[in-house]
Amino acid sequence: MSHRYQKLLTPLVLPNGAILKNRMIQPKCAPDQIQGPEEWPTEQFIHFHREMARRGNSLVILCDAFRPQVRKMPHWHDFSHSFSFNLDDPAVHNYLCQLADDVHFYGSKVVVQLMPEFPRGVSVGGGNPPKMQTADGFIPMPPGQAAPVDQIKEVIAGIAEKARLYQSWGYDGAAINTQGLEHELDTRSDEYGGSVENRSRFTLEMCEAIKQACGSKFIVEIIMLGEAPKGTGMPGLKDGYYLEDTIAFAKLAQEKGVVDLMTIREKSMVDSHPTGFTFTPCQHHCIDYVKALKAAGITIPLAVAGGFQDPGEMEQLLEEDACDLVSIGRGQFTDPDYYTKVQEERGEDIRPCVRCNRCHGRRRAPWTSVCTVNPEFGVELKTRNMVQPVTKIKKVAVIGGGVAGMEAAIVAAQRGHQVTVFEKSDYLGGQLSFGDHFDFKWPFREFRLWMIRQLDKEGVEVRLNTEPTPEQITAEGFDAVLAATGSVAKLPNIAGMHNPDGSPALPTCHDVIGHEDQFGKNILMVGCSETGIETACYLAQHGHNVTCLTRQKVLAKDASPLHSITIAWIKVGEDGYGFMAPYWEKFENLTGITQANTVQVTDTTVTYLDAEGVSHTLEGDNVVVCGGVEANSAAALQYATAAREFYVIGDADWGTDIQTSIRSAFAAASQL
């Protein structure tokens, strides 16, 4: 019988004879805060990897759990809140054995990603190490030293011994993530430097040593960038390597017969974690790399990684022999029923990933791992006890059709309730609808359209252009009300911000979007949170000259250093090394003024005090204000007695963003 995703669900036999149950594999993607800094795997950590198997991955990757650098970080550093297990503790061995058993329960294989363990400041090729994160940003580290040959041999032997240890715990293989050729090995004049063959030697000797220690049946995977041109931001990589080098490396690996699988990633860390700022749907450089490898005669199974989620797209690539497997990380975090929907040929029902990178962490408190669109991510074990079964079918009114209202309606309907959404405007989505205007917010547009489809599939009644009174809700006999009345823009208490009657005297970000042609060429923006900087980029794209003023030391201080807008491209510094740069630095017509304390505004001017207290006045065609929002709680509370049960959700309950709004909507609807 034919299946919509037949190729995707077809098993694959690796060169060592191992059978992968389908063509989906998982990259090393366990979020750093999936558990705390305990020295042992918690049940949440084990559950995460178990889930990656249940969600369909035929190969699950565990990051080597011993990371001693975690213990040396200051308390404010995100790494100090991450996991690092004591592999000398027998209890840890037991837990890691249980993890492997759990993955095997779903017919999946589990491999451990191993990294070479050199002393701090030492690597194969020396060169510049990654920049060190501090509380105020990033600082360069002193140049590293190249390891002597005898130390390289010791490290290779250590890799093989650790692989043998994991094998004894039930693991099926090891993944080597040295990025293949990334080290600046042309600085060496011995057998580990110079030619591609010599620069490949270190990685291939690790693979050989693992095979010798663990046997030919032990899976060995190589994870590498398809190419890494000069200035792509990889640690220790200055001159880079290119596709012809990757092909030469793959030929050497194939000749030696020590590699069972190669995963080819994009050309930089930014491209490997594509977002709305960096990625156009269905355009993957890694596919071009794999096609070139196949054309060169490489028969090692080749996987691609970098922004995949749609099973239809993956099926087409597999049918075209553009790759042999697909590596999926974030794309499976969004939906606990991912594999079930693939098996049931319901790919369109998979909850879309908005590619925000929040699942990778925040690099600051609170120290939890979350998904913007999946409210259960990181708390799946807890919700099993926190969410009780439905005992009575209820008639539920949801006031507001924004993201929180739609999520609450979907969850309530899935629990069997009769749900009606009341939306006072003529469209659903609330602030998600701004994604229709920002070209870099296309993932949020797709998410909004998915939510609307789910409302229809779940049989939710939607009444647009309707703002019911509490009396109407009572009269219709609703058992429960979930008030998702959202938020309203606010202006700071600065001279000139308000009219004499207290109404806003200046437009806000929400007034600009979709109406940018009504504003002049030169725009001054007071306040520069993430919302403000996104609006400023939007205006700059449409040809406006934008000057952003903020009291903070940096623009968009509320944006996580790992968020999509903050790591949107690779910028090459004066030293020739690339680093991840924020999206707004791409625009020559966007200027930021930090530590600017605005004291007075008019329609066309802004007066501010700089860090030294000196006054300055700027002139433009328009002044736009990004002063944040405040909960529209009064609109919500009027329904407090309209039904027996009442909940305030989303921005109306001081939700701070889409993630917290969806979480609160899910939590409330789960209590019905």
225 and 267 Cβ atoms separated by less than 8 Å? yes
Same domain, 101 and 59: yes
* Per-residue pLDDT at 369: 85
Neighbours of 33 (CB within 10 A): 22
- Given a cut of 80, whether residue 473 has pLDDT beyond it is yes
Q: How far apart are the first and last CA of the chain?
A: 41
Same domain, 191 and 318: yes
Neighbours of 157 (CB within 10 A): 14
Count the residues in the chain: 672
- Where in the sequence is the domain holding 533, given as residue range(s)? 491-627
Answer whether residue 1 is part of any domain.
no
Helix, strand, coil tally for the chain in percent (to 5): 35, 20, 45
- Given a cut of 80, whether residue 575 has pLDDT beyond it is no
The stretch 136-141 carries a mean pLDDT of 52
Reduce the DSSP state of residue 27 to 3 states and report it.
coil
Long-range contacts of 70-77 (CB under 8 A, 24+ apart): 70/37, 71/37, 76/135, 76/364, 77/133
Answer whether residue 324 is part of any domain.
yes
> Partners of 60 in the beta sheet?
110
Reduce the DSSP state of residue 109 to 3 states and report it.
strand
Reported as a pLDDT band with limits 50, 70 and 90, residue 135 is very low
Give the closest residue to 84 by CA, choosing from 33, 10, 17, 126: 33
134's torsion region: left (phi>0), alpha (psi -120 to 50) or beta?
beta
Reported as a pLDDT band with limits 50, 70 and 90, residue 32 is confident
Answer whether residue 4 is part of any domain.
no
225 and 179 Cβ atoms separated by less than 8 Å? yes
CATH number of the domain encompassing residue 543: 3.50.50.60
Spell out the residues 6+ positions from residue 485 whose beta carbon is closer than 8 angstroms to its own: 399, 400, 632, 633, 635, 636, 652
Cα–Cα separations (whole angstroms), residue 430 to 125, 444, 470, 598, 627:
53, 12, 21, 30, 19
- Given a cut of 50, whether residue 270 has pLDDT beyond it is yes
Same domain, 652 and 568: no
> Partners of 296 in the beta sheet?
none
- Given a cut of 60, whether residue 130 has pLDDT beyond it is no
429 and 661 Cβ atoms separated by less than 8 Å? no
Reduce the DSSP state of residue 148 to 3 states and report it.
coil
Query: Beta strand 597-601 with 569-572: parallel, antiparallel or unpaired?
Result: unpaired
Q: Which of 356, 381, 406 is the last residue of a domain?
A: 381
- Given a cut of 90, whether residue 179 has pLDDT beyond it is no
* Per-residue pLDDT at 125: 74
Answer whether residue 616 is part of any domain.
yes
Q: Determine the Cα–Cα distance for residues 239 and 182; give it in Å rounded to an integer.
A: 9
- Give tens-digit pLDDT for 227-254: 887 766 555 455 678 899 899 999 999 9
Same domain, 652 and 527: no
Query: Which sign, positive or negative, has the C-alpha torsion 420, 425, 427, 433?
Result: negative
Q: Which residue has the tokens 């590699």?
A: 259
Q: Determine the Cα–Cα distance for residues 622 and 524; give it in Å rounded to an integer.
A: 6
- Given a cut of 70, whether residue 1 has pLDDT beyond it is no
Q: Determine the Cα–Cα distance for residues 547 and 544; give it in Å rounded to an integer.
A: 10
Q: Which residue has the tokens 């990380």?
A: 329
- Give tens-digit pLDDT for 109-124: 999 999 888 887 787 7
Same domain, 352 and 453: no
* Per-residue pLDDT at 109: 98
* Per-residue pLDDT at 576: 65
Reported as a pLDDT band with limits 50, 70 and 90, residue 63 is confident
- Give tens-digit pLDDT for 338-379: 999 999 999 999 999 999 888 877 667 777 888 999 999 988
Same domain, 366 and 303: yes
Give the closest residue to 77 by CA, choosing from 365, 476, 405, 331: 365
For 570, the enclosing helix (H) or strand (E) is: strand 569-572
- Given a cut of 60, whether residue 197 has pLDDT beyond it is yes
The stretch 377-404 carries a mean pLDDT of 92
> Partners of 63 in the beta sheet?
113
Reduce the DSSP state of residue 595 to 3 states and report it.
coil
Answer whether residue 57 is part of any domain.
yes
628 and 616 Cβ atoms separated by less than 8 Å? no
Same domain, 427 and 553: no
392 and 412 Cβ atoms separated by less than 8 Å? no
* Per-residue pLDDT at 239: 66
Query: Beta strand 522-526 with 109-114: parallel, antiparallel or unpaired?
Result: unpaired
Q: Determine the Cα–Cα distance for residues 563 and 549; give it in Å rounded to an integer.
A: 21
Reported as a pLDDT band with limits 50, 70 and 90, residue 468 is very high
* Per-residue pLDDT at 237: 53
355 and 275 Cβ atoms separated by less than 8 Å? yes
Query: Beta strand 219-225 with 173-176: parallel, antiparallel or unpaired?
Result: parallel
Q: What is the largest CA-CA distance in the chain?
A: 85
* Per-residue pLDDT at 238: 56
Same domain, 417 and 339: no
- Give tens-digit pLDDT for 503-559: 889 999 989 999 999 999 999 999 989 999 999 999 999 999 999 999 999 999 888
Q: What percent of the chain has pLDDT over 70?
A: 91
Q: Token pair of 424, please?
A: 């006072």
The stretch 273-278 carries a mean pLDDT of 87
- Given a cut of 90, whether residue 205 has pLDDT beyond it is yes
Q: Determine the Cα–Cα distance for residues 360 and 34; give it in Å rounded to an integer.
A: 10
CA 601 and chain centroid, separation: 38
Q: What percent of the chain has pLDDT over 90?
A: 66
Same domain, 106 and 74: yes
The stretch 388-395 carries a mean pLDDT of 94
Neighbours of 4 (CB within 10 A): 15
Same domain, 173 and 129: yes
> Partners of 617 in the beta sheet?
607
* Per-residue pLDDT at 133: 46
- Given a cut of 90, whether residue 569 has pLDDT beyond it is no
Segment among 48-52, 431-435, 463-467, 476-480 with least mean pLDDT: 431-435
For 463, the enclosing helix (H) or strand (E) is: strand 461-463
Higher-pLDDT residue of 580 and 433 is 433
Q: Which of 318, 346, 381 is the last residue of a domain?
A: 381
Answer whether residue 159 is part of any domain.
yes
Segment among 55-69, 194-208, 416-430 with least mean pLDDT: 55-69
Q: Determine the Cα–Cα distance for residues 256 and 258; give it in Å rounded to an integer.
A: 6
* Per-residue pLDDT at 68: 62
Give the closest residue to 328 by CA, choosing from 581, 96, 59: 59
The stretch 602-615 carries a mean pLDDT of 95
Q: Determine the Cα–Cα distance for residues 231 and 578; give it in Å rounded to an integer.
A: 4
Same domain, 433 and 348: no
The stretch 601-610 carries a mean pLDDT of 95
CATH number of the domain encompassing residue 419: 3.40.50.720
CATH number of the domain encompassing residue 372: 3.20.20.70
The stretch 43-67 carries a mean pLDDT of 90
277 and 32 Cβ atoms separated by less than 8 Å? no
For 139, the enclosing helix (H) or strand (E) is: strand 137-139
Same domain, 534 and 472: no
Give the closest residue to 188 by CA, choosing from 240, 246, 149: 149
- Given a cut of 50, whether residue 134 has pLDDT beyond it is no
Reported as a pLDDT band with limits 50, 70 and 90, residue 154 is very high
Answer whether residue 95 is part of any domain.
yes
* Per-residue pLDDT at 199: 85
Q: Determine the Cα–Cα distance for residues 146 and 363; give it in Å rounded to an integer.
A: 30
Query: Beta strand 578-581 with 597-601: parallel, antiparallel or unpaired?
Result: unpaired
Answer whether residue 396 is part of any domain.
yes
Q: Which of 343, 366, 381 is the last residue of a domain?
A: 381
What are the two backbone dihedrals, phi and then psi, of residue 191, each rounded to the nearest 5 degrees? -70, -5
- Given a cut of 50, whether residue 70 has pLDDT beyond it is yes
What mean pLDDT is reported for the chain?
89
Q: Structurally, how many domains does the chain consist of?
A: 3
Reduce the DSSP state of residue 395 to 3 states and report it.
strand
* Per-residue pLDDT at 422: 98
Q: Which segments of 284-403 are extended strands (E)?
A: 302-305, 325-327, 395-399
